[in-house]
Amino acid sequence: MIETKNLTKRFGDIVAVDHIDAVIKDGSVFGLIGTNGAGKSTFLRMLSGVLRPDEGTVTIDGKEVFENTLIKSRFFYISDDQYFFNNATPKEMMDFYRTVYPEFDNNRFHHLMKSFELDERRKINTFSKGMKKQVSVICGVCAGTDYLFCDETFDGLDPVMRQTVKSIFVGDMEERNLTPIIASHNLRELEDICDHVGLLHKGGILLSRDLEDMKLNIHKIQCVLLPGTEPEDIKDLDIMKIERRGSLCTLTVRGTREEIEAGIAAYEPVFAEIIPLTLEEIFISETEVAGYDIKKLVL
Amino acid sequence: MTSRSLCFKLMREDLKRRVWTIALTILSFLFTLLVPAALKSGSYLDEMAHGNLEAYQKIRLMERMTEVVGMNGVVVTMLLVLSVVWALSGFRYLHNSRQVDFYHSIPVKRHQLFLAQYFNGLLVPAVFYLIAQGASVALILRTGIGAEILGSTPWRMFLVNMVYYGLMYTTTVIAMMMTGNLVVALLGTSVFCGYGPAVIMLIIGYQEEWFHTIYRTEEQGRAFLRAINYSSPFANYMLALGDFSSNTLGARQILGAVAATTALGVLAYGLYQLRPSEAAGRAMAFKRTRTPIKLLIALPVAVVFSIFFYELRSTLAWGIFGAVCGSVLTCCLMEIIYHFDFRKLFANWIHMAGCCLASVLLLLAGMYDWYGYDSYIPKATDVKSAAVVIGYTDSWITYGKPETYIDSQGMENYKWGYEGVWDYQFKHMELTDLYPVMELAKKGVEEDQARRAEKDFRWGYGRERYIIGFRLNNGKTIYRQYYLPLDEGTLEARAMIHDSREYKKGVYPLLEQMPADTASVYFQQYNQQYALDLDQDEKTHLLAVYQKELEELTMARREEELPVGSIQFRTAEHDHAITQNQNNSNSTADIEGRCYYPVYPSFTRTLEIIEKAGVSIKPLNSDDIVSIDVQYYWVGDDVEKSREDKEGELISYRSAEEIEALLPALVYRDYLNFNEYYEIAPAGNVDVMVSFAVPRVNSYGSRSSFNFQIDLNRLSDEDIERFEFYGEKSYD
């Protein structure tokens, strides 16, 4: 388990990460969302031991990360602009990683390179941006670490590759309890993979929730109410948002599915159906409640 | 994985990344060592096969060949370049945030990363240098010159070069640690190599500019030079190479360089541990170092500017302009470098203002002697004794003694081992009558204050320099020098000092010579040398008599007399040195002609003994002279037309009448050199050579012609007109 307490990093007068307390549980995918400059990369660089925190601590299973090789051998950090040696080929990168990650899986590396149709002996500097990202991810998953820190890793991957990578993550999570921590400025990228999401804004963490919890506790109902009944009249439901299109109302309501179904049934609607919320919609609702306009933050 | 094996693996991986550096290193050694060694050894073999070489030609060819693996300037230059290249290529990842993220996120401790990179930069060039040096030695040895001729030189040179390569390399590594940008790191390396010597030179310059009465003894001068040599790795390397060439490089210096490299290596290691990863791309890695470094550079530059602009116009306003200008320009430049942003040039105006203020204060302190340096005179009660160097009086004296050296043939020979003139005098002179000394010092302070008030540029013109060393009761010695006008007060004090026995003891080493040390005595008159035939008692007696007469010589007498000859009391050591050089067929002139002292007409007892020893001391006689050759020169447009008749001509006066006419005015230059206080009225438009009928023989060989001067005071106006001499008589 990764835990940060009061984690702070300043660059001169700028507070890049501002007293963040966060817990990242093993075996889940942690999504770190925020605009450019929100502090995602700085947070990940502290998590990976690159930066020394000005205040607070970063621990993995209770042990400090900074300059702790045992702990550092448990994660692999893919930066948003991953460095490859000059004129290096993927195979040469693999050779280097094998030196520092004892659990590096050569066979899997060769296999994945083949699956991704990447030439191991071609110079990486001739690869496209997406191909470089693929090489990074392949190196990362083959390193055999418990954690994988991905900074904007999905940015630049085409949808097919994105899904492929996600499926690799899912596979590794099932097989060896891999915990990917994925930072992105794009909610939609994380929607179908994250178990837990942290929203960073101006160096601080705005909210950090399990996606399931959020999904279970917030629902969208499309309904047509009896003539003379207005959505505002429904007092039994915690309605967060009301949209009208003719007689069709779309309500965003906080509460469990059962509570909401029971609540709306009491008003005998002409038609009522609970429909799934996207991650974006959940965030919009949650952050609006907190007084922020999410569209300005991450969309 | 053990720490050590990981380190070796990292070293191996690092070398894979630095193939170009390795290639550059190999090529460098190939073209600076192997190729020259092959070319020169081949050339030597060809010459030996075809030519009928003289011994010296063979030696020269061998020297050229062995220089390749010895004191090879090209190799030294190349090693300097390589030290910077290896340091930059090894730690350049620290200046790139992508690379820092990469290297610092992998499970490797930073000290292992540092050690892997650092030792690669030290060991790889050493290995290739050793291989190249070995191969070059082998190429040279194939010529058959024998390993004993090369000796240990190639391996000692290898050791010296590698030790200083390490020092330069580690210095550059520190610059890399302290910066976040390659160009700034290079600037930093230049600062590390040049700052120390530059600041020491500035201190010297500042003192020279503002401490008008400062005097540095030779020891103090050497201390500054030592400080320069030890304040920079580059200067220290150059010093070591110089010492290596002169065979004086000691193990202590090498061990010192190794210790310095180790200390700097530990510092670099510590800096690496402290260095924040986010420093990549910034000018300076450590924020705290920015201000001190800026001020440490800006302040000296401001002082240089203030002195420079003051020198242009000698006004306070220009001095202040220089100080402010230097401060502002340097602070702005440093801020631009720190921020990589031209608009940030006034980012820290408080530092700039502080620097301006400090440099202006330093200017004012120097200009107005706020230090009280020039006005300081120790209290007479605090002074135990004093020493005074009067102008350039008695510059003919040679201090020192013969010392041995091994020549290129391996023979032990003698040369003159000089001792510093003023250092000798300050060491041996103990004036206890402090009155004239204090008078000179007081006058010097008054003169300096007048100079500061008047801003007199022509300082020193028509003045005489006096260097005073005050030996204080507390053991310290304070030195001051003054340029004093030769007025009555100065002349009186000068005469009092000159006439004292303590002064002469401090000036004439002969007065320290013990009678038993005197092995032989020689006398010279008009360059003719005579060995005095004296037994030991007579020599001892003559030395005692001469010493007494020399001690009693007064300024007043010197103003009236010129020597009639010169005398040399050789010690046994002096004689042995001459004999040794003669036996080795080496020149003896350098040591044989030294330590002659003047014999004045008033040294009657000395002259008596010399004459008793068989030397006839007679004045210059026309019978001895064959001709007086006068070279006339152009002396200026203001000279009347009649003087131009002989302009540019060399006229040889040979008739008895002409020689007789000129004879009274002839003054032997060597005798004038013995006595600066004897005034003549020289003819300014001529050089005079007198040719003797019989060649004069002395330690320098046999010669007929010698330099004389014409003293117009001793010629009638008619003869001056007739011979077209130009100048003024000093009295009628």
User: What's the pTM value of the predicted model, to 2 decimals?
Assistant: 0.82
Using the Cβ of B99 and the Cβ atoms of chain A, whether some distance falls under 8 Å is answered with yes
For residue B553, give the DSSP letter.
Answer: -
Cβ within 8 Å, pair A50-B100:
yes
What is the widest separation between alpha-carbon atoms in chain A? Answer: 73
How far apart (Å, rounded) are the C-alpha atoms in residues B686 and B631?
5
DSSP string, B371-412: T--TT----GGGEEEEEEEETTTTTTPPPEEEEEEE-TTS-E
Instruction: Please tell me which of the candidates B99, B101, B107 has its beta carbon nearest to residue A100.
Output: B107
Provide, as residue numbers in chain A, all residues whose Cβ is less than 8 Å from the Cβ of B105. Answer: 45, 48-50, 72, 77, 79
For residue B638, what pLDDT is reported? Answer: 57
For residue A122, give the DSSP letter.
Answer: S
How far apart (Å, rounded) are the C-alpha atoms in residues B516 and B382?
38
Residues B484-515 have pLDDT tens digits of 999 999 999 999 999 999 999 999 999 999 98
* CB distance A199 to A298 below 8 Å: yes
Residues B149-192 have pLDDT tens digits of 778 889 999 999 999 999 999 999 999 999 999 999 999 999 99
Provide, as residue numbers in chain B, all residues whose Cβ is less than 8 Å from the Cβ of A95. Answer: 13
Residues A108-132 have pLDDT tens digits of 999 999 999 999 999 999 999 999 9
Instruction: Please tell me which of the candidates B17, B107, B277 has its beta carbon nearest to residue A73.
Output: B107
pLDDT at B362 over 50: yes
Domain ranges of chain A: 2-209, 217-297
- Mean pLDDT, residues B275-303: 95
How far apart (Å, rounded) are the C-alpha atoms in residues B91 and B271?
13
pLDDT at B52 over 80: no
How many CB pairs (< 8 A) connect A and B?
A: 61
CB neighbour class for B488 (10 Å; exposed up to 12, middle 13-18, buried from 19): exposed
Q: Give the chain B residue nearest A46 (alpha carbons).
A: B105
- The single residue listed with the structure tokens 């590396």 is A109
B interface mutation test: which of A13, A43, A51, A80 has the most B CBs within 10 A? A51
Q: Which two tokens stand for residue A242?
A: 């009301």
- Mean pLDDT, residues B461-477: 92
Measuring CA to CA, which residue among A282, A285, A284, A264 is closest to residue A273? A264
3-state secondary structure of B705: strand
3-state secondary structure of B627: strand
Q: Which two tokens stand for residue B263?
A: 């200390």
Residues B67-92 have pLDDT tens digits of 899 999 999 999 999 999 999 999 99
CB contacts under 8 A, B 204-233 vs A, are none
How far apart (Å, rounded) are the C-alpha atoms in residues B124 and B469?
55
Q: Which of A28-42, A188-202, B104-118, B446-460 has the lowest mean pLDDT?
A: B446-460
Cβ within 8 Å, pair A69-B98:
no
The phi, psi pair for B253, rounded to 5°, reads: -65, -40
* CB distance B352 to B328 below 8 Å: yes
3-state secondary structure of B665: helix
- The single residue listed with the structure tokens 């994945």 is A112
How far apart (Å, rounded) are the C-alpha atoms in residues B178 and B333?
18
- Mean pLDDT, residues A288-294: 63
Distance from CA of A283 to the nearest CA of B (A): 31
* pLDDT category of residue B56 using cuts at 50, 70 and 90: confident
Using the Cβ of B276 and the Cβ atoms of chain A, whether some distance falls under 8 Å is answered with yes
Q: Give the chain A residue nearest B8 (alpha carbons).
A: A99
Using the Cβ of B347 and the Cβ atoms of chain A, whether some distance falls under 8 Å is answered with no
A interface mutation test: which of B101, B112, B272 has the most A CBs within 10 A? B101
Rg (CA), chain A: 22
Provide, as residue numbers in chain B, all residues whose Cβ is less than 8 Å from the Cβ of A102. Answer: 1
- The single residue listed with the structure tokens 């700097």 is B264
Higher pLDDT, B567 or A196: B567
* pLDDT category of residue A229 using cuts at 50, 70 and 90: confident
- Mean pLDDT, residues A32-37: 82
List all residues 6 or more positions away from B722 whose beta carbon is below 8 Å from its beta carbon.
Answer: B661
Distance from CA of A99 to the nearest CA of B (A): 7
Residues B3-49 have pLDDT tens digits of 668 888 899 999 999 999 999 999 999 999 999 999 998 888 888 88
In this structure, which amino acid lies at residue B371?
A: Y
Instruction: Please tell me which of the candidates A49, A82, A96 has its beta carbon nearest to residue B104.
Output: A49
Third-level CATH fold of A217-297: Alpha-Beta Plaits (3.30.70)
Q: Which two tokens stand for residue A4?
A: 């940060």
Q: Which two tokens stand for residue B599?
A: 């014999």
β-pairing verdict for B701-710 and B650-653: unpaired
Domain at A2-209, CATH class: alpha beta
List all residues 6 or more positions away from B182 whose beta carbon is below 8 Å from its beta carbon.
Answer: B88, B92, B95
pLDDT at B657 over 70: yes
In this structure, which amino acid lies at residue B680?
A: I
Mean pLDDT score of chain B: 91
* Contact residues of A toward B, CB < 8 A: 11, 45, 48-52, 67, 69-70, 72-73, 77, 79, 81-83, 85-86, 92, 95-97, 99-102
Q: Give the chain B residue nearest A53 (alpha carbons).
A: B276
Instruction: Please tell me which of the candidates A77, A81, A99 has its beta carbon nearest to residue B13.
Output: A99
Cβ within 8 Å, pair B106-A86:
no
pLDDT at A97 over 90: yes
For residue B732, what pLDDT is reported? Answer: 47
Cβ within 8 Å, pair B102-A79:
yes
Cβ within 8 Å, pair A102-B1:
yes
What ipTM was estimated for this complex? 0.88
Cα end-to-end span (Å), chain A:
29
